[in-house]
Chain A
Amino acid sequence: MSNEPADMDLTGDRGSQTVREGIYHLVFFICAAVSVLTTIGIVLSLAGPAFGLFGGSGFFQDVSLSEFLLSTDFSPAIKPTVFGVLPLVFGTLLITVGAAAVALPFGLLTAIYLSEYASSRRRAVLKPLLEVLAGVPTVVYGYFALVYVTPILDAVPGIELGTFNALSASLVMGIMIIPMVSSISEDSMSAVPDSLRNASYGLGSTKFDVSTGVVVPSAASGIASSFILAISRAVGETMIVVVAAGQTARFPGSATELLNSFFQSTQTMTSAIVQLGLSDLAGGTTAYRALFAIGLVLFVMTLVLNLVSDVLVRRYQEDYE
C-alpha cells in the first residue's frame, strides 16, 4: 500500500497559476515603481533648468554657485539682480523654528497625555479630533493667521506686527503640525510594553516617573522621528507663508535684527518659488530658472531630514521583546 503511487495530484495547475502569479507580481511592481519614478522625474525637472542639463541655458550658467550660496541678497526683479539663497533659507529656518517651538512641546505633551494619562474612552474621542487639525486645508490656516492671529498678537502691548509677519505664520503652522508630532509619538509610546511600566510602578514610581523616566526614553526613536517629520513638513509648507508671512527676503545683520525678523514680513524658499512662478517673468529668464535652483535646495533639505529620521528610527529602535 505504501509503495503505491499516491492517488493525488501534486503538480498543481502549473501553467495558468504561473502566469497569474507573474501578472500579480508585475502589477504590484508597477505600483511601487510609480512613486520612485516620480521622485526621479522631479529631481531631473529641478536639476535640468538649474544646470541646463537638457539644452538651453541653465541657472548656474548665469549665476555663479558662490553668489547663489553665499550672497545675502535676493532681489530677482530689480536690477542689478542678485540671486542669493541665504535670505530665503533664513526665512524658512525662522518660520520652522517658530513652528517647532510650538509643535514639539505641545505635540509631545499631548502624546504623553493621550498615551499615559487619558482613559481609553477619552483617547478614542480625542485622538481623531486632534487629527482633524491636520486635515484642515493649509490655505485656511493661512487666512486664520492673517485675519485673526496677527491682529490679536498685534494688540499685545510691546508687540508691533506688520500685516504680514513671520510670527503668526509660524505659530499657526506650529498648531497645524501638532497632530503630526502627537500622533506618531503617541503610537510609539503606546508600543512601549506594559511590562516596562509595571517594572517602574513596582519600584515605587508615580505616573509622572513612569511617563518621563521609562515611556518617553523607551519611545525616543519614534518621538525623534516625529519631530523630524514635523520639521520637514514645516520646511516645505507653502500656503500659510504665502498668505500670512509676506514676500520680503531679508537676512539679519545683527542679533537685534534676528529677533525683529519675527515681527516683520519675511520670505521663505517656498514662497519665493511661488512668487517667481506666478510673476509675469518670461520663461527663459534667469529669475524664472532661479525657482528650480531654490526648489533643488529645498528638496535636498527635506531629503536630508527624512534620511536622518530614518537613521534615527533604525539606530535607536529598541527590541523590547
Chain B
Amino acid sequence: MSQNENTTTTTDEGGTDPQTDDEKLISTDVTTGEESARAAATSRTMVEARGVDVYYGDLQALDDVSLEIPEGKVTAMIGPSGCGKSTFLRCINRMNDLVDSARVEGDLLLKGKNVYDDDVDPVALRRQVGMVFQEPNPFPKSIYDNVAYGRRIQGLEGDMDEEVEKALRRAALWDEVNDQLDKSGLDLSGGQQQRLCIARAIAVDPEVILMDEPASALDPIATSKIEDLIEELAEDYTVVIVTHNMQQAARISDQTAVFLTGGELVEFDDTQKIFENPEHDRVEDYITGKFG
C-alpha cells in the first residue's frame, strides 16, 4: 500500500464552513474532486504515523500504518472488529504500554515529536492526549471530584470550581447536574456518565481527545447527544474517534480512515469521499455492508 501525499493541495479558498474546509490528505491514490482541491494549508498536522506496526506477542495488530491527523478536526477510524483501529488509537497516547505483550514499531509523531522517543514520559504524553473509553467509566467519586481528578493529579493552577463548571458546561452536562455535584458519578445514567467522562478528559485541557467507540454502550438519544458534543469539541480540540458505526463516522467526522483485516490502513480521505466514492473496492464493499 502506498501513501502518496495528496498532490492537489494548492490554494486556500478561505472556506469558513468547517464542514467543507478540508484538510491536507493522505490517500492511497491521487485524490480528485473539488472538495479536496480546497484542502487547506490552514490546518496543521497534529498526529502523524509513519510506518507503524504493532504486535501483541506474535500477533500483528497493525501493519505499516501511515497517516496524518489534522489539528482541530474530527478524524474517524472505522473497520470491522479486530482490524486494529482501537490499537492505533491506543498507540497515540501509549496506552498500549500497559499491555505487557504489546510492541510498537515505527514513528508516531505528536506535533512533530515522536512519542516513542526515549525521553518521552507516557504520563506527560497522556496529559496532552486525553482519552474517552467505550464503557463509561466514572470513578466511584462525586461528580465534582470526577471532573477535578485530572487537574488535581496534574497539579494544575486555577479556580477549581470554575474549571469544573467550565468542563461540565463544555460537555453539555452542567444543566443536568449543577445542583447535585456531590452525587456519585455512578448514579448518573449511561449517557450522562459518558459526558461526565468527556468533561473529566477536557478539564485538563489536552491537545487531542481520543475516543474509543464512545457511544457504543449508549441508547440512540444519548448517542446523538454525544455526537453533537463531539462536533462541538472539534472547535477546540483534535478529536480522533474509533467507531464501528459507519453512519456515525459519516455524520460527525471530517476525515475517515478505513482499516480492514490484518491491521491494514486501506484508505484515508475526506469522509465524504470515503462514503460516496471510495478508491478501493474493498472499502466500498465494507461501507455498503457486503462484508465486515
Partner-B contacts on A (CB < 8 A): 193, 195-196, 198-206, 209, 213-214, 217-218, 318-320
Q: Are the C-beta atoms of B186 and A203 separated by less than 8 Å?
A: no
Q: Are the C-beta atoms of A202 and B141 separated by less than 8 Å?
A: no
* A204-B153 CB under 8 A given contacts A196-B139, A218-B140, A318-B140: yes
Instruction: Please name 23 pairs of A and B residues whose Cβ atoms are closer than 8 Å in the assembled complex, sorted by A.
Output: A195-B135, A195-B137, A198-B95, A198-B98, A198-B131, A199-B133, A199-B197, A199-B200, A200-B149, A201-B95, A202-B201, A203-B126, A203-B130, A203-B150, A204-B123, A204-B124, A204-B153, A204-B204, A205-B153, A217-B140, A217-B141, A218-B139, A218-B140
Q: Are the C-beta atoms of B95 and A204 separated by less than 8 Å?
A: no
CA of A214 to CA of B146, assembled, Å: 10
**B78-134: which have CB < 8 Å to A?**
93, 95, 98, 123-127, 130-131, 133
| CB of B154 closer than 8 Å to a CB of A | yes
Q: Are the C-beta atoms of A202 and B126 separated by less than 8 Å?
A: yes
Q: Are the C-beta atoms of A201 and B126 separated by less than 8 Å?
A: yes
Q: Are the C-beta atoms of B126 and A204 separated by less than 8 Å?
A: yes
CA of A195 to CA of B139, assembled, Å: 9
Can you name the residue of chain B whose Cβ is closest to the Cβ of A219? B140
Number of A-B contacts (CB under 8 A): 72
Q: Are the C-beta atoms of B186 and A213 separated by less than 8 Å?
A: no
CA of A164 to CA of B145, assembled, Å: 50
Contacts of A319 in B (CB 8 A): 186
Contact-size category for B: 20 to 34
Q: Are the C-beta atoms of A202 and B95 separated by less than 8 Å?
A: yes
CA of A4 to CA of B243, assembled, Å: 53
A195, A196, A198, A204: the one within 8 Å of B127 (CB): A204
CA of A305 to CA of B137, assembled, Å: 33
B126, B135, B153, B184: the one within 8 Å of A213 (CB): B153
Q: Are the C-beta atoms of B137 and A204 separated by less than 8 Å?
A: no
Q: Are the C-beta atoms of B124 and A203 separated by less than 8 Å?
A: no
Contacts of A204 in B (CB 8 A): 123-127, 150, 153-154, 204
Q: Are the C-beta atoms of A209 and B153 separated by less than 8 Å?
A: yes
Contacts of B184 in A (CB 8 A): 318
* A198-B140 CB under 8 A given contacts A203-B126, A319-B186: no
B133, B141, B149, B201: the one within 8 Å of A198 (CB): B133
* A202-B131 CB under 8 A given contacts A209-B153, A318-B186, A320-B186: yes
Most chain A CB within 10 A, of B130, B149, B197, is at: B149
CA of A204 to CA of B186, assembled, Å: 22
B234 → chain A closest CB, angstroms: 19
CA of A214 to CA of B138, assembled, Å: 11
Q: Are the C-beta atoms of B149 and A203 separated by less than 8 Å?
A: yes
Q: Are the C-beta atoms of B93 and A203 separated by less than 8 Å?
A: no
A192 → chain B closest CB, angstroms: 9
Known: A204-B127, A214-B139. 15 other contacts (CB 8 A): A193-B137, A195-B133, A195-B137, A196-B137, A198-B131, A199-B137, A201-B126, A203-B130, A203-B153, A204-B125, A204-B154, A205-B123, A205-B153, A206-B123, A213-B152
Can you name the residue of chain A whose Cβ is closest to the Cβ of B146? A199
Can you name the residue of chain B whose Cβ is closest to the Cβ of A213? B153
CA of A195 to CA of B194, assembled, Å: 13
CA of A199 to CA of B185, assembled, Å: 14
* A202-B123 CB under 8 A given contacts A193-B137, A195-B137: no
**B182-214: which have CB < 8 Å to A?**
184, 186, 197, 200-201, 204
A13 → chain B closest CB, angstroms: 46
A202 → chain B closest CB, angstroms: 4
